[in-house]
C-alpha cells in the first residue's frame, strides 16, 4: 500500500488509470504512423492520394500522438514523484525506454514532415522494420513496471 503514500493520495489510482489510457493511445499512434508511411510510399508524390495520406498523418499527429505523449509524460512524472521511484533500478530502465520512445515519436514527426515535402528517404521494408520498435519497447516497459526486476 505504499503507492497510496504521497501527494496524490487516493487520486493516485485515477492518475495511474489516466496514464495507462494515454499510453494505450500513444502506442496506437506509434504503431499506426509507420504503417501509414508504408502506404503513403506507394502513391506518387503530388497525387491526390499523396495529399490524402499527408492529411491522415497530420490528423494522427495532432489528435492522437502529440496530446498523448504530453499527457503520458505529465501523468507519469506525477506518479514517479508520488511513489518516489527515482532511486529504483526498474524505474531507470523504464525511464530510458520512455525517453527512447519519445525520440522515436520525434523521428516519426520529422519523417512525416519529409513526406509532406515529397522526400522519401526510407524503403518500405525499413519502415516495416521500424514499426516493430514500439512493440518491443512496450513489452520491456511492462516487464519492468510489473515484475520490477
Query: Which residues make up each annotated binding site for heme?
Result: 19, 94
Q: What is the pTM of this model?
A: 0.92
* 56 within some domain: yes
pLDDT score at 1: 46
Residue range of the domain that includes 135: 35-147
pLDDT, tens digit (0-9, with 9 covering 90-100), for 14-53: 999 999 999 999 999 999 999 999 999 999 999 999 999 9
Which stretch of DSSP H or E encloses residue 36?
A: helix 12-41
Query: Which residues make up each annotated binding site?
Result: 19, 94
Which residues of the chain are under the pLDDT cut of 50?
Answer: 1
Split into its structural domains, the chain has a count of 1
* 8 within some domain: no
pLDDT score at 3: 52
Amino acid at each position: 500500500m505504499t503507492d497510496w503514500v504521497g501527494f496524490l493520495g487516493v487520486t493516485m489510482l485515477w492518475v495511474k488509470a489516466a496514464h495507462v489510457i494515454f499510453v494505450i493511445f500513444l502506442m496506437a499512434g506509434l504503431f499506426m504512423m509507420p504503417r501509414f508511411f508504408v502506404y503513403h510510399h506507394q502513391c506518387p508524390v503530388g497525387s491526390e492520394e499523396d495529399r490524402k495520406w499527408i492529411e491522415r498523418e497530420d490528423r494522427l499527429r495532432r489528435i492522437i500522438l502529440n496530446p498523448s505523449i504530453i499527457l503520458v509524460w505529465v501523468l507519469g512524472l506525477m506518479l514517479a514523484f508520488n511513489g518516489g521511484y527515482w532511486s529504483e533500478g526498474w524505474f531507470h530502465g523504464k525511464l530510458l525506454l520512455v525517453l527512447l520512445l519519445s525520440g522515436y515519436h520525434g523521428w516519426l514527426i520529422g519523417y512525416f514532415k519529409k513526406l509532406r515535402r515529397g522526400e522519401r528517404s526510407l524503403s518500405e521494408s525499413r519502415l516495416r522494420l521500424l514499426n516493430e520498435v514500439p512493440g518491443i519497447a512496450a513489452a520491456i516497459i511492462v516487464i519492468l513496471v510489473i515484475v520490477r526486476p
